């Protein structure tokens, strides 16, 4: 068809499977296994239905922005709020990576980065992680159009020390450096304090993992007010009303309940510690994880075989047929009960 010649063609991001039947143990999309904070659940019953007919307030003018600013001890003009961190990162790609020079990110990382680059026609180069799946800071000390990487990285779960993060930022003062911290709450150290030192640093976080609100789609970026202003300029040139009323109201309650937030993160980290011991005993190897998942490879049995057999038992984990990681499985940390079912299934498969 002739009109197809003018269509932008890209290979889309492939998310983890979303089985819709009961009884499935879902350890493939890094969702929190626990419910949102009690205040979120109470607030749902009190939401005003009449407000649904109105456009929501701009996010930076809401109580959510104020709560986040207070929580992180920064100013409201240092926060950008979007529809999940994917939306925030997408707007950041459109806003900051426009020099025509290649953007740099790891070869093994969040697989949405190259999709956004292709969609927005941004040149990019991937830099190979070392043999231990770690970022080599020297690879990011060359002319470029911007830098982005997760810390902890995904899907490896490996945390880069803050001094190494700063080394990359300091070497790239003429471009924007984005640190994607979707998993930082599970034992990592945030680069947030560095935004006061570096006006080219954008730190991105999300409510989807540690705050158990993936279904609400709330993400945010923190950085110099000028960075935030540029992000808002682009966002409001595409869609002024990006955040819905419900998400803005419930997000406030999540931030306010710090005790519950820390409790959930603590439970996940404790379960992760036990999972590391159990998986090692079953013949798996993996890097130390600072996320809510483990990136594991079995010493004898191919990952594809384990993936398929677990799926037959209604246990879903994540597997990629990609170079260097085709023999690894990413296993989300679930409840203790879900993990016990996983160990029992793996005992049969690997025993």
Q: Is residue 220 within 8 Å of residue 204, measured between CB atoms?
A: yes
On the CB side of 166, how many CA atoms lie within 13 Å of its CA?
Answer: 13
pLDDT higher than threshold 90 for residue 127:
yes
Closest CA to 59 of 76, 37, 42: 76
Residues 291-328 have pLDDT tens digits of 999 999 999 999 999 999 999 999 999 999 999 999 99
> What's the CA gap between 27 and 293, in Å, rounded?
9
User: What is residue 145's predicted lDDT score, i.e. its pLDDT?
Assistant: 98
> What's the CA gap between 113 and 10, in Å, rounded?
13
Q: Which CATH architecture has domain 17-36+259-350?
A: Alpha-Beta Complex (3.90)
Mean of all residue pLDDT scores within the chain: 96
Residue 302, C-beta contacts closer than 8 angstroms, at least 6 positions apart: 327
Q: Is residue 200 within 8 Å of residue 53, measured between CB atoms?
A: no
Count of beta carbons in the 10 Å neighbourhood of residue 239: 10
DSSP class of residue 29? S
pLDDT higher than threshold 90 for residue 157:
yes
Q: Is residue 137 within 8 Å of residue 164, measured between CB atoms?
A: yes
Residue 346, C-beta contacts closer than 8 angstroms, at least 6 positions apart: 279, 282, 306, 310
User: What is residue 22's predicted lDDT score, i.e. its pLDDT?
Assistant: 86
Count of beta carbons in the 10 Å neighbourhood of residue 305: 12
> What's the CA gap between 54 and 43, in Å, rounded?
19
What dihedral do alpha carbons 237, 238, 239, 243 form, nearest 10°? -100
pLDDT higher than threshold 90 for residue 66:
yes
Residues 161-219 have pLDDT tens digits of 999 999 999 999 999 999 999 999 999 999 999 999 999 999 999 999 999 999 999 99
Contacts 24+ apart (CB under 8 A), 49-57: 51/245, 52/245, 54/245, 55/241, 56/241, 56/243, 56/244, 56/245, 56/248, 57/248
Q: Is residue 130 within 8 Å of residue 109, measured between CB atoms?
A: no
Average pLDDT over residues 123-128: 98
pLDDT higher than threshold 90 for residue 17:
no
pLDDT higher than threshold 90 for residue 8:
no
Buried b (16+ CB within 10 A) or exposed e, 110-128: bebbbbbbebeebebebbe
DSSP class of residue 82? E
Angle at 136 between CA 134 and CA 141, to 5 degrees: 155
Pick the CATH number of 38-256 from 3.40.640.10, 3.40.50.11290, 3.40.50.2300, 3.40.50.2020: 3.40.640.10
Domain boundaries, the chain: 17-36+259-350, 38-256
> What's the CA gap between 200 and 226, in Å, rounded?
9
The count of residues in the chain is 351
Decide: pTM greater than 0.75: yes
Closest CA to 134 of 316, 300, 290, 265: 290
pLDDT higher than threshold 90 for residue 332:
yes
Residue 73, C-beta contacts closer than 8 angstroms, at least 6 positions apart: none
pLDDT higher than threshold 90 for residue 233:
yes
Q: State the alpha helices, DSSP H only, in the chain.
A: 38-46, 63-72, 84-96, 113-119, 162-170, 225-238, 245-256, 258-281, 303-312, 336-350
pLDDT higher than threshold 90 for residue 267:
yes
pLDDT higher than threshold 90 for residue 11:
no
Share of the chain above pLDDT 70, in %: 100
Q: Is residue 159 within 8 Å of residue 187, measured between CB atoms?
A: yes
Residue 134, C-beta contacts closer than 8 angstroms, at least 6 positions apart: 158, 160
pLDDT higher than threshold 90 for residue 101:
yes
Give 181: exposed, middle or buried? Use CB within 10 Å, 0-12, 13-18, 19+.
Answer: buried
């Amino acid at each position: 068809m002739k009109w197809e010649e003018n269509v932008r063609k890209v290979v889309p991001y492939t998310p983890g499977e979303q089985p819709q039947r009961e009884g499935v143990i879902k350890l493939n999309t890094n969702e929190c296994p626990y419910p949102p904070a009690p205040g979120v659940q109470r607030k749902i019953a009190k939401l005003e239905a009449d407000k649904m007919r109105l456009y929501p307030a701009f996010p930076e003018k809401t109580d959510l922005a104020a709560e986040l600013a207070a929580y992180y001890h920064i100013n409201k003009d240092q926060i950008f709020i979007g529809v999940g961190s994917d939306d925030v990162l997408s707007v950041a790609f459109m806003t900051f990576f426009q020099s025509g020079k290649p953007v740099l990110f790891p070869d093994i990382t969040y697989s949405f980065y190259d999709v956004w680059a292709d969609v927005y026609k941004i040149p990019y180069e991937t830099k190979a992680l070392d043999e231990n799946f770690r970022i080599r800071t020297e690879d990011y000390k060359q002319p470029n159009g911007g830098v982005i990487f997760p810390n902890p990285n995904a899907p490896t779960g490996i945390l880069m020390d803050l001094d190494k993060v700063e080394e990359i930022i300091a070497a790239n003062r003429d471009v924007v450096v984005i640190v994607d911290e979707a998993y930082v709450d599970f034992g990592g150290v945030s680069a947030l304090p560095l935004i006061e030192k570096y006006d080219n640093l954008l730190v991105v976080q999300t409510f989807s993992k540690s705050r158990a609100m993936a279904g609400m789609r709330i993400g945010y970026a923190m950085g110099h007010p000028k960075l935030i202003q540029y992000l808002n300029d682009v966002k409001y040139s595409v869609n002024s009303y990006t955040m819905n009323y419900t998400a803005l109201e419930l997000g406030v309650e999540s931030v306010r309940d710090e005790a519950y937030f820390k409790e959930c993160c603590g439970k996940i980290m404790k379960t992760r510690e036990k999972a590391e011991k159990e998986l090692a005993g079953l013949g798996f190897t993996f890097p130390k994880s600072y996320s809510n998942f483990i990136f594991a490879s079995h010493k004898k049995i191919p990952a594809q075989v384990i993936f398929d057999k677990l799926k037959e038992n209604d246990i879903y984990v994540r597997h990629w047929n990609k170079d260097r990681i085709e023999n690894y499985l990413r296993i989300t940390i679930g409840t203790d009960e879900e993990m016990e079912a996983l160990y029992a299934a793996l005992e049969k498969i690997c025993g």
